[in-house]
A and B are shown apart, each in its own frame.
Chain A
């Protein structure tokens, strides 16, 4: 046989073999799964059991293959079962003996029809449950219950891991959980919120699957509208697992002396829940609340949370230390409607040591041919400690609702700011320069006490007798606040004006502020009586208009004490500065009585739609008075104003059940901004070298009128939800308080506050969000939003009227993909653009834009290993300056070990390309600032974490 003929024969044989294989695989594919079907009935009383649970297991390893609940005819059909394999079918129903049968589906008898299956009642006692087999799902009244024991997960799975495997559940990238496409609005544990927060991940990511007795899903259902209901989920704990604790202890150390430490421990029992958390680092991981710390220390770890990273855009080097303690106690362990009594307390301490160093260039447009350029190099050190304590007691009964809250904060800070500034005119040269060093200390203590009491009108429940002639329901709220601030500081600076400015002068300042104290007290009372119509008109319908009367009274007593002294260079001693030393007492009263007229129009058809229109008109008056007495005569002033500040709104809501919900809203609001004493009669502190405020006691308040319109659309279909929203608002200001600036020859600004005409503000925002999930494993998400702001700011520059029009656009587009909890990927593009045009300067413009592109992803493969990486490309441009580009690349690798995966070791690499820059690129009216701050830069870090946890005794 020649090579050629062998080759031909080989090719032919290969083709034939290939065809046979393809044919065989095709046939095999057709017969590779089987179906078992049947019908379930009560053995004695001739009725179908439509709430039975049918489950098929592989006998060899008891793994659950398929399960279902029969239809209304008692029929079931379970597909995708293996052929020629020994399987077991179990049929369970409350009150019946379990039915079990072993079977094999053969290809020649596929589907296998078990025909009628009769279940026998085991007991007449409804309360007795005889299910011994593990029914994966059952209907308990109106509640669908999943049995965690029936679903195999890895040994240390959390509740969230379990829910991923339950049919119908989807865990979204933004933390939402949906069931059959509908969002679960609340996740309770044994019927109560877990750890006093609205964050469902605290429960789902910390509670192990083994503590769960049931996962319940139920609808707060409007029976007449089965397409419309609120979905709730409840994690019912096993009886012996109703107490427990869980937490995290973590320590990290890295290059350039980077460190981080985190700790969290949370415990709970039937009545009480308590959490203690703490964190310290120098890698810009800052939490602002106890809830934030609890969220960031979950057992699941950062995992696929690709948004939790050190903040590389934060200015300066920060060394935060935070800690918190949270406590919840339910006096009545079983919470019901209008029947609950709960105490919540929260303590949070936050300490930070920040060093910000930067250099900036600020350009101020005076005229088309005249730009002031100020170059600054500054260094700012700030150390602060804030402590916050809050307690809230709530009691809810049929007759009344009572809330008592108390809050207190103690904050101390110490900052040092050093800067070197140089002011020059673009077409001329350097006009002046300065060096200054400023230090400030502040200790502030404030506390707030408030109580709100609502008396219910009919005593709660349904009135079966005639309502009272005088309805007695009302609401009253009282708040008292007191703040005590003690400050001190110093300012040492040198100002030099060059001959170019025409004033060759040099001034040195050395000032100490012995006191910068204030004591602020306020009392606020709010009352509302919602039954005015019934009180006046008795039985009259008044066209079904509702009338409420009420109002707010706010009373403030503020006292300021300042002491300043300057260094006498001759005597080398500090002499009191009588201009800046003194006291000021300010009394403000703000009364706002109001009458609320409202009307609701409603139309609905059961299980089709409901539509409503609400109209609200608030006729509100404001009586505002200020009286100021001070050491400096210029600050002895007072004024009284009375304005009518109405509000109106119209909302139209159209909910087509099972299809969509659309809301249209129109609003008109007014408010008044009153001039402050520091705008009317400021004291000029000469150490403020560049900005010298001037007095104008004749300033009037500005009156704002705001018009807003919005439209939101949310789909209500089972699958692939999406939403869209757009809103626009416009504000017109009468008597706008604006700046009238004089720039002297040295480049300093004298600034008055004046009233001008023509203040306008426009704003539009639009957003779209869609999720697509072709099956339970894969999820795609697309989000985009666009925002535009436009300000027309009238002002005066060197007595010439000007309008500065600022327009800022920003747009963000995100595309995300997740495969189970194994892969998460996100692509994000953001752009912000700012443009400021000076009308009086031939539309001379400043513009700047910032752009970023981010790609991030996480992979869990194998189960114990998490790979994570994100890259962000940044670009900043400002006109007349070169663009700044930089790329930040972070990556990490984490490994879980120990039997219950309670240990974790993690290696992180941050800013691998060492390109991070703290860019400052901002604009405001006729000014533009561009520069750099110090920021966190490249480091490598090794972390060890341990997750202590125990559930049950």
Chain B
């Protein structure tokens, strides 16, 4: 009996060890992604026009953050951070200085908005803090030294995650130094460095990409990141980076193992030149998060197609049902009466993806596009809700963009 039990335990252990060395591979073929109508995917779609006055007029939604009490937008054109109510009413605006560009982050736990502004003259980054409705907080602004520390994503409990790069610039020789692609900070001190990368050992990655894209959605103090080219997905929390699964794409959209393991500088430089205008190769995956059994992610290529379409090379944002294995592409969703035959996304969705908050997706549409599409679909006699009717009556093509809020079924 004892021998039997020991053997069984050993067998289980061996099996477990064998199993733990293999990670799950999720095979994604964009050409097999499903589409459908808006009402098949979303239970509710709302359009929220943003108030357009002389004071609140801005150019473009460069960054979008949704909170319980506000819609926060960073606009590159006017260097402003704007705050609107969830219904689109203007609250306030923080104007940045000319030639200084900012990045905004929101920490849900403390309801704190951080505006990080890079000063190209001093090479410093200045951090200022505001409430979710744009009121300055009584926290002393912080000045940091390196430009690379701008993009700090709050994980909660005072911890932040950021990324480093190991890019080998054209004409440069790879150096034998190791950097952690992911770093955790607390109180502006390095807490942990993870996912080590060496330019000489990981020459292919450092030549063709060299950096990691940070996700936007933090769930349970963790965020998912994917290593470019090999697409291994890690769950990063303050102390660990655990490999969870790997995306596998069709051969013509991936790099071969020979290239990924190559140390041939000439070959890798040639490939880098060849793919400089490539629209098919998946360079990395970002915006990864889960909602129950649904996995959401976005693929990124070297160059994005700007014209909207449903082709294999025009789709970037996906939903993967981990239960059924069914893949859907958000760009393949067609407008219908539930969203008044108006567009769901603007060009930004190709490059930046959608925002996700409280089980809703958010995107923005320019007023130029709203009015153009309204004119094209007038013959379908859509019944607009009151706020959209008011918007079309009082605004024009030059007004502020409109926020689209979509609740998944």
Contacts and interface: CB of A to CB of B under 8 A. Distances in A.
A48 B40 CA distance: 14
Contacts of A127: 252
Contacts of A44: 32
A466 B125 CA distance: 13
B34 interface: yes
A45 B332 contact: yes
Interface in A841-888: none
B335 A221 contact: no
Interface in A28-53: 42, 44-51
Given A73-B334, A142-B305, A464-B165, A606 B60 contact: yes
B308 A126 contact: no
B31 A604 contact: no
A47 B35 contact: yes
A47 B310 contact: yes
Interface in A880-910: none
Interface string A134-157: 000001011000000000000000
Nearest to B277: A336
Given A126-B252, A142-B305, 8 more contacts: A45-B33, A48-B334, A51-B310, A72-B335, A141-B305, A224-B59, A606-B77, A607-B60
Contacts of B58: 605
A141 B303 CA distance: 10
A540 B121 contact: yes
A141 B313 contact: yes
A461 B168 CA distance: 12
A45 B32 CA distance: 7
A226 interface: yes
B276 interface: yes
B312 A466 contact: no
13 contacts: A45-B35, A45-B332, A48-B35, A48-B332, A49-B310, A121-B31, A126-B253, A139-B307, A141-B307, A223-B347, A459-B171, A540-B121, A605-B58
Nearest 5 Cβ contacts at the A-B interface: A47-B35, A47-B332, A606-B60, A605-B59, A606-B59
B352 to A, nearest CB: 12
A50 B308 CA distance: 9
B122 A126 contact: no
Of the four ranges (under 10, 10 to 19, 20 to 34, 35 or more), the interface on chain B belongs to: 35 or more
Interface string B396-407: 001000000000
Interface in B138-177: 147-148, 165, 167, 169-171
Q: Which interface residue of B77, B279, B311, B329 has the most chain A CB atoms within 10 A?
A: B311
B306 to A, nearest CB: 5
A270 interface: no
Interface in B349-369: 366, 368
B136 interface: no
Nearest to A73: B334
Contacts of B376: 71
A42 B171 CA distance: 46
Interface string B103-129: 000000000000000000111000000
A125 interface: yes
Given A45-B34, A47-B334, A141-B313, A608 B59 contact: yes
Contacts of A467: 123
Contacts of B121: 539-541
B36 interface: yes
A606 B366 contact: yes
B270 interface: no
A224 B310 contact: no
A398 interface: yes
B309 interface: yes
A317 to B, nearest CB: 57
B308 A607 contact: no
A126 B332 CA distance: 17
Given A124-B29, A544-B98, A605-B59, A72 B343 contact: yes
A540 B167 CA distance: 29
Nearest to A398: B170
A380 B167 CA distance: 73
B280 interface: yes
A74 interface: yes
A74 B341 CA distance: 13
A177 interface: no
B343 to A, nearest CB: 7
A655 to B, nearest CB: 14
Contacts of A49: 310
B250 to A, nearest CB: 7
Interface residues of A, number: 46
Contacts of B341: 73
B57 interface: yes
B6 interface: no
B308 A72 contact: yes
A539 B276 CA distance: 33
A124 B31 contact: yes
B50 to A, nearest CB: 13
A46 to B, nearest CB: 5
A607 B306 contact: no
Contacts of A42: 35, 310
Interface in B53-101: 57-60, 77-78, 98-99
Q: Which interface residue of A71, A94, A399, A607 has the most chain B CB atoms within 10 A?
A: A607
B254 to A, nearest CB: 12
A430 to B, nearest CB: 77
A141 B167 CA distance: 28
B216 to A, nearest CB: 21
Contacts of B147: 466
A48 B99 contact: no
Interface in A464-483: 464, 466-467
Given A464-B165, A544-B99, A139 B32 contact: no
Given A47-B36, A464-B167, A608 B398 contact: yes
A227 B367 CA distance: 13
Interface in B304-342: 305-314, 329, 332-335, 341
A124 B27 CA distance: 14
B279 A461 contact: no
A142 B350 CA distance: 13
Nearest to A223: B306
A50 B306 CA distance: 14
Contacts of B308: 50, 72
Interface string A66-101: 000001111000000000000000000011000000
Interface string A104-129: 00000000000000000100111100
A399 B313 contact: no
Nearest to A537: B121
Contact of A50 (B253, B310, B398): B310
Contacts of A460: 170
Q: Which interface residue of A141, A221, A466 has the most chain B CB atoms within 10 A?
A: A141
A231 to B, nearest CB: 15
A833 to B, nearest CB: 47
Nearest to A334: B273
B282 to A, nearest CB: 12
Nearest to B98: A544
Interface string B225-254: 000000000000000000000000010110
B170 A604 contact: no
Interface string A558-574: 00000000000000000
A143 to B, nearest CB: 9
Contacts of A223: 306, 347
Contacts of A464: 148, 165, 167, 169
Contacts of B99: 541, 544
B34 A126 contact: no
B209 to A, nearest CB: 13
Interface in A341-370: none
A50 B59 contact: no
Nearest to A336: B276
Nearest to A127: B252
Interface string A604-633: 111110000000000000000000000000
Contacts of B253: 126
